[in-house]
Amino acid sequence: MCDLLSDEAIEKAFDTTVEGSEGMKRGRAPVTVSYECDYDSEGFPTVSTDLSATRSSESDQEVLDGVFTDRTQEDKVVGAHQAVPGLGTLAGFGRDAVLGKAVNASSLGVVFTVDSERLLLTISVTGKTELEQVRPLAEELLANAKSAME
């Protein structure tokens, strides 16, 4: 997962230096599998990415809404987010559902399909960020993920 996004893209977007990254895989097929990468940089912002398979029982909108839902809360209210046209099948950008309550943190979620498999890409940033900074990262990740999976 960490190979799908260049350090240079993060450094350019946030005027920082990436000092390394750490990837991990969660879950097992045929149950949901998720690949994560945390990028180490100087101070804030911090960037992490997640690519996961989605449940076929959920609609594209439900999958995207999950990015902006604090699942630790009983009411599971979907947090405010803006639509991001032109990325994947459906995309949105807004405050991180959990961290955004305590610190300045945002997420960009992108639902997309490769062959017949629907996936969710999430880029999480802790620290002040704008969509214009994160969108190029998503574009690079999407292109590289599709290329790697085809």
Say whether pTM exceeds 0.85: yes
Q: Which letter does DSSP use for residue 80 in this model?
A: P
Q: What is the DSSP string of 21-39?
A: EEEEEES-TTS--EEEEEE
**What pLDDT does residue 18 have?**
93
The mean pLDDT of 103-118, rounded to a whole number, is 90
25 pairs with which residues across the strands? 35
Q: How confident is the model at residue 99 (pLDDT cuts 50, 70, 90)?
A: low
Is the pLDDT score of 121 beyond 70? yes
Whether residue 23 contacts residue 1, with contact meaning beta carbons closer than 8 Å, is answered with yes
pLDDT at res. 29: 64
pLDDT digits (tens, 9 = 90+) for 7-58: 999 999 999 999 999 999 887 766 667 899 999 987 778 899 999 988 888 9
- Residue 31 is predicted with a pLDDT of 61
Q: Identify the bridge partners of residue 37 per DSSP, sorted by sequence position.
A: 23, 49
